[in-house]
Structure 1
């Protein structure tokens, strides 16, 4: 089946894939925050959490680019991205600064609330465009992973930047009214190809590289699939050989695994997102709790480590998973879902106004 034939609507497996990826990040951080080696990371050269983040970026690149191509409205695109990211983020930041920080700081409350770093953390993390802050004064200073309040935010800095880059590319290309859409599609393909080559060259060379290198490729490879969805065939004849190649390369060496991983991950993700059906789709009756899990897990884990310094990886994973999932459910129903509903109302009003204007316009 063509990828384009299954992408309309929300009857897919993205919610399930995203929650599993968010929980994988939580598991990976249980090792990292206790300074314990993660078995998968040692064997493959890439951690479980990093694989999960790559999946997030591929899916994000595909979905937001597809939405932009379908609606072709930059205002709607920017509003949708802002409403998906910032309402939930604002709440977790306020809780982190004014509740968690106050509980765990080694400073007096007066010193903590008057410290400039307290409010720097809040405004820096809320914008994300220029980076994130990770430390609140006196908080988690005795933890093995000293001081970091919410290390997961580093990937969100890059995700927001990808959204902005995509918007800029769209705006620039659309200056050409006749060929703007074609230019945009070609630019996406060029960026994905260039980012892939850049990522491979840096991996196989001794040059230092930023974590953003791989994320840029993952995002724009997802975007490239959105551009090429009329040409991509989702087939078990390709899916299973790619899975076998990934497994075989993992048994060979880290370099072989990285190469196959870069080439195959996006296709494997889209196959799993759209082809398996039936009972697995029942998960969609639940909400999309993945974002809440992602933004709450790290501070929850750091809090548990501060309370129970001798906690094991297994116990930390189970306890933080339970607490984080509860917070994620509350975030979805009280914050994220109402914010997304506002986007729907905005789009409906805009379409209604456009329709009214078209019907009342004087004849030419």
Structure 2
């Protein structure tokens, strides 16, 4: 049998345990964290992402930041479904998720609130003890509260750390997986795809009619901006579908090429009108998800050692936005140097976050997968 025929008969997600754990997810997450930094460089330095290459390539439908965050949720949907299925109890699942997402997030928000804010605050700003407790309390609930929400008022975008919105959505997706856990596996196999179809249909309807549902402040504090759920949830569900139906999804480079080509044609031939919106929303998430798992489990690409010294993707994402804001406020670097400095400093912050905070809340820190594959966990990134 020819190699091409053997490849065609392989499942997209390998059934062999060793190959399943010898994946490229760590490399993918770190690349996506840096891709978000790249995209935010345009927004935070130039004011928008219209000139960003991915935005141009997709005819303005999506940008590199969208793609990076979507991939985070695709990978998370897959690995969290796996984690939940293997958890010995709901309590065990919850503890692992909290230990992975909370410590790094709380330290990052505290640094923004109690280090960055005093350094860049206008003259006369004196935070009170009461404000400090309100800030800590809000951040415990993933509300991303800072004493001065528009601290960088002179920057093109004044937010302190605008990337943290996705952490709440990620945490609530974990809750959703736990709630779905009460269903039998056979029911989940079809409930999740049905939910995916419903969410994408509503997303298309919202964008076709120009609706972006919001709600009272309490709604935002509890579940985030409701409209964003229709962008985020399809990707998390796509990851779950890939896991739940892993035995039936074939590996096919031809299928990947067709899916990506169809998405690109939809971006440009459909334009920004109704046809383009529907086609982009229907085609882009599954094509992107298929690309992620095609690469993550590619038999000829082995980047499984990408996190041998630590998983730096979460910390890179947590600190990149505020680092870029500080660079905009204090320097006038040429744009290419601004992008490189942003990536380098964000990655350095990711290294520090891993070694000083995150690894201390896991089971003796991250160890290479070949030594203990049964412990391999996904970080809690958006």
TM range (shorter): 0.7 to 0.9
1:47 to 49, 59, 63: 63
Show the counterpart of 1:349. none
Residue 86 (1) aligns with residue 102 (2)? yes
TM-score normalized with structure 1 length: 0.82
Shift of 1:342: 5.5
Q: Deviations over 1:315-340 (max 9, x none)?
A: 32111211111111121122222222
1:149 to 160, 163, 166: 160
What SS is found at the alignment partner of 1:283? coil
Partners of 2:49 and 2:287 in 1: how far apart?
A: 26
TM-score normalized with structure 2 length: 0.79
Show the counterpart of 1:198. 202
Q: Verify the 8 A CA contact 1:44 1:253 in the aligned structure 2.
A: no
CA RMSD of aligned residues (A): 2.7
Shift of 1:136: 2.3
Q: Verify the 8 A CA contact 1:246 1:257 in the aligned structure 2.
A: yes
Q: Verify the 8 A CA contact 1:135 1:149 in the aligned structure 2.
A: no
User: Which is richer in helix?
Assistant: 1
Shift of 1:296: 0.5
Larger Rg: 1
What SS is found at the alignment partner of 2:108? helix
What SS is found at the alignment partner of 1:300? helix
Show the counterpart of 2:282. 259
Show the counterpart of 2:15. 5
Partners of 2:70 and 2:150 in 1: how far apart?
A: 33
| Distance 1:14-1:238 versus aligned 2 partners, 3 A rule | same
What SS is found at the alignment partner of 1:78? helix
Residue 127 (1) aligns with residue 141 (2)? yes
Residue 235 (1) aligns with residue 235 (2)? no
Which runs of 5 or more structure 2 residues have no equivalent in the other structure? 1-9, 214-226, 367-382
Partners of 1:162 and 1:83 in 2: how far apart?
A: 16
Partners of 2:251 and 2:100 in 1: how far apart?
A: 29
Shift of 1:276: 4.9
Partners of 1:115 and 1:105 in 2: how far apart?
A: 17
Which runs of 5 or more structure 1 residues have no equivalent in the other structure? 174-179, 345-364
2:319 to 296, 314, 336: 296
What SS is found at the alignment partner of 1:287? coil
Shift of 1:4: 4.7
Q: Verify the 8 A CA contact 1:26 1:321 in the aligned structure 2.
A: yes
| Distance 1:220-1:181 versus aligned 2 partners, 3 A rule | same
| Distance 1:122-1:113 versus aligned 2 partners, 3 A rule | same
Q: Deviations over 1:33-59 (max 9, x none)?
A: 121443233523212101111111111
2:348 to 308, 312, 326: 326
Residue 214 (1) aligns with residue 231 (2)? yes
How many residue pairs match? The answer is 333
| Distance 1:98-1:163 versus aligned 2 partners, 3 A rule | same
Shift of 1:216: 1.2
Superposition pairs for residues 161-176 of structure 1, below 5 Å?
161-170=172-181, 172-173=182-183
Partners of 2:17 and 2:325 in 1: how far apart?
A: 39
Shift of 1:284: 4.3
Partners of 1:235 and 1:6 in 2: how far apart?
A: 18
Partners of 1:98 and 1:75 in 2: how far apart?
A: 32
Q: Verify the 8 A CA contact 2:25 2:304 in the aligned structure 1.
A: no
Partners of 2:299 and 2:32 in 1: how far apart?
A: 17
1:76 to 51, 67, 92: 92
Of residues 293-302 and 194-203 in structure 1, the stretch that sits farther from structure 2 once superposed is: 194-203
Superposition pairs for residues 85-124 of structure 1, below 5 Å?
85-108=101-124, 111-114=125-128, 116-124=130-138
Shift of 1:233: 1.4
